[in-house]
A and B are shown apart, each in its own frame.
Chain A
């Protein structure tokens, strides 16, 4: 009975999609894209100041996105909704690892004890690496990098502690809470944009002067959120791989 129902459901869905594809209602303009109207071309042709008089660091105010790093402007401002999807993909993969490897309690003890110098020195280096990760996340709109590399750096500081200290185990609950809270913050930010400007994830903050820390509107906030989220997700993946099931 269930199988028949599923078959009927899939057939109805397929018929609907095919019907709409034929009408060109679901995907307007499907199949007849106009090359001169492509998104990438309009980004290339676009001018940041409207009147072609160039952009000066620390002086140019109220540019369209205000980020010195163009890639960041695209990832975290123009295409912020896609980035939300990317973060979700990462969340699902870490969730999948958690499901596959199970809720584990005990940390796998590596067979050989770590070197003494590594054990002590990692505690100092860990702080520097963590700080660099946070720095990269915060300065995504000014320097190369951004939330994703910053999050990876945060996770690699955790990996260093896992490798250097046999007893170390991160507080997984803390990571999970941080991860969820950051996801919620991202959505709230998007909803705030929807409330204030009428578009989801639209920038509603002042753009500031190009090249300073407090500029580019929402981009630094978005990238801090992404950095913490990615960092906690990858850290939880590392933890799951280094833990064993059972008591």
Chain B
């Protein structure tokens, strides 16, 4: 049991480190949001599972944390992405931009 838990914990730590590295290395804000959201979500999941293997009686609370993270993280990052596009425009290196027609102007379309 300890070995399984340790493996999950190390995978979690690894994905956290990769998420941080992604935030650091990616060239524009949207790619950073992608790296930050995904890698850290799986990192958090991994660590929660690892802890749940060691302490099975905590699994209810750990499940709630996982549920909240998986619900809130994508919502937060997409809100952030929209705000970034609104306020700073799209990145310069995009190869295709369908969003411009929707969010490009300063007036709200809604």
Answer yes or no: A and B touching, Cβ < 8 Å.
yes
9 additional contacts, CB 8 Å, given A117-B74, A121-B72?
A113-B108, A113-B110, A117-B78, A117-B79, A118-B79, A122-B75, A125-B72, A125-B75, A128-B68
Which chain B residues have a beta carbon within 8 Å of chain A's beta carbons?
A: 68, 71-72, 74-75, 78-79, 82, 86, 108, 110
A124 interface residue (CB < 8 Å to B): yes
CB contacts (< 8 Å) of A111 on chain B: these are 108
A112 at the interface (CB under 8 A from B): yes
Residues of A near B108 (CB, < 8 A) are 111-113
Number of A-B residue pairs having CB atoms within 8 Å of each other in the complex = 28
Q: Which residues of A contact B (CB under 8 A)?
A: 111-115, 117-118, 121-122, 124-125, 128
Write 8 A-B pairs (CB below 8 A) sorted by A numbering: A113-B108, A113-B110, A115-B79, A115-B82, A117-B75, A121-B72, A122-B75, A125-B71
- The minimal Cβ–Cβ distance linking B57 to chain A, given in whole angstroms, is 14
Q: Nearest chain-A residue to B86 (Cβ)? A: A112
Whether the Cβ atoms of A124 and B71 lie closer than 8 Å is: yes
Which of B74, B75, B82, B108 gathers most chain A CB within 10 Å? B75
Interfacial chain B residues near A117, Cβ < 8 Å: 74-75, 78-79
Within the assembled complex, what's the spacing in Å between the Cα atoms of A128 and B67?
A: 10
Q: Are A121 and B110 in contact (CB under 8 A)?
A: no
Q: Which residues of B contact A114 (CB under 8 A)?
A: 79
A124→B67 CA distance, assembly (Å):
12
